[in-house]
Structures are given as C-alpha cells and as structure tokens.
Amino acid sequence: MAPHDAVHGWDEDTTAEAYDAFTREFPMYSATSRELARRAHLADSRLVLDLCGGAGATAKPILELAPATARVISLDNAAAMQRVGRRTLDDPRLTWVTAAAEDLDRHAPAADVDAVVCNSAIWKTDIPRVFTAVHTVLRPGGRFVFNIGGGFAGVRHDDEKSAHTGPSLNRLIHDVAARDYGYTPPPTRPAAPKLPLEAVSAHLSAAGLVLVDAEVIAQHGSVAEKRAWLSIPVFARPDGDFTHAQRMDILAKAYALTTPDAPTVTSWLTVVAQRPK
C-alpha cells in the first residue's frame, strides 16, 4: 500500500498553501528541481513538460534555464496546487494543465517535446503508462529526467550514511505518539525497495526509452527544514487515525527533543533517459 501522501490530500487548499510556503522558505525542492532541469539539457529547447508540476517549484528553474522562446507545460492532477502556482508564478511561456500524469500524451504534441522533467513524484504514478506516454511525446533525442527518493529506490548516499548521530525526527515522532497517544509503530524490519534502478531500467526499456545516466545525489538540510516539511498536512506523521492537530502536537514535542540546526541528509536516485534518435 502506498503512503497516505501518495494520492490523498494534494487537491486541498491547506496542503497547497503550506507546500508552496515551504518551497519558498527552504531549498529542498528548488535545489532538486534545478538539478533535474540542468540534466535535461534545456539550452536549445522549444517545449518542455513539467510532469506532476504541483505549484511550480520545478517549472521555475526550467523557465530560467530554457531559452526565452521556449514554452513550458506544467501538468498536475491537483487543481489546488495549480491555483497557488498560477498566483505565484506568472509567466506567459508557462501553461498550466490539470490532468493525470498517465494522460500526459493527450496534452502535449507527439514527438515534439524536448524534455520531460519530474521532481519527487514519479513513484506515485502508473509507471508503465507514464513511461509509454513520455516516449510518445518526446522528440527523438529528447530527455526524460526524474528522481526517486532513496527509500523507494533502495539507495543511500555516503553523506547520508555518515550523518546519523542520534534518533531521527521521524523516530522521535513515533516515540512521542506511542507515549502520549498509545500509538503502535509499524515493524522496523527493512522493506524491499519499491522502485529500484533495475525496475526503472526495465520499465524504460519496455517503453522504448534508453537509460542514459543514474546517480545517487545527496540533499543537505536541517532538522528545522524537516519539521517544516512534516508540518505540511499531506506529509504529517504518523499514519493512522490522528487529527492534524494531534499530529502537530506530536511533531512539536518530538522537535523539542532535537537540535534544530543539526544537519540532515536525504538521498535521491536521479535518472536521465532518452528517446533514441
């Protein structure tokens, strides 16, 4: 079963506003978006598709790196996220399309897109359908660039391996929830990665796309950034029958047990694929 933030809650104003505020205050999404846009080789692009684009955190660096004459389509199925994006990112080159990722080929011309970029969201789509649709819209030689969280891909950057010096904020959240709310944390046995590179490669090949590069990237942040991220309703923990107010109470108590400026590291598997020329 996918985590509760995979589908539910994205098309809600409270989540959209909190998510947009987070992207403005903290660098996580802007940094990963810029990294993906850089790998998409946009210097000569004419049309770029920002897949699962949310409120525009990835569209912004795409617009900055693409030529002034390029057009960008930001496609997402959460209208609330796009309402925020339209208000905060006003650029005549950008078109907002409210649609499912699996239907992207209905909203972009076939074999005419220079690059498709997807930040932090490919894991919650129907991978075979999306990859096939990406192949349909990409021009020959066009790039498909996306990332997958380290936990889903089963990878850890060396920086993350050496960064852990105490219990994580997530672990403390579970401890506080158990102490104050009788919460029973899930088993801690390691789960098999849901989307390892081997599976990604197989899906790309089946869709007619070629794997060009794959690299594990470290994203550096702080416990304060992690707290802000977990304050977004769709990301709030723990799972289960809690109100948002209860989750925020648990988060505040857990955060009080941490050092706010302590460094954190998250790992991302960054993938570059291409439609053959």
Residue type, 185: P
DSSP secondary structure of 66-95: S-TT-EEEEEES-HHHHHHHHHH---TTEE
Which of 229, 224, 225 lies closest to 18 in space, CA to CA? 229
pLDDT means over runs of 10, the chain (277 residues):
53 94 93 97 98 97 98 97 95 97 98 98 96 98 97 94 82 96 82 93 98 97 96 94 96 97 95 97
What whole-number distance in Å separates Cα of residue 91 and Cα of residue 246? 39
pTM of the model: 0.94
**For residues 39 and 272, is the Cβ–Cβ distance under 8 A?**
yes
Please give the pLDDT value at position 186: 75
What whole-number distance in Å separates Cα of residue 235 and Cα of residue 275? 34
What whole-number distance in Å separates Cα of residue 33 and Cα of residue 30? 5
27 backbone dihedrals φ, ψ, rounded to 5°: -90, 0
Domains in the chain, start-ordered, CATH in brackets? 13-156+192-221+265-274 (3.40.50.150)
What whole-number distance in Å separates Cα of residue 74 and Cα of residue 67? 16
| Overall residue count recorded for the chain in this entry | 277
DSSP secondary structure of 218-240: EEEEEHHHHHHHHHSGGG-SS-S
**For residues 174 and 183, is the Cβ–Cβ distance under 8 A?**
yes
Please give the pLDDT value at position 150: 96
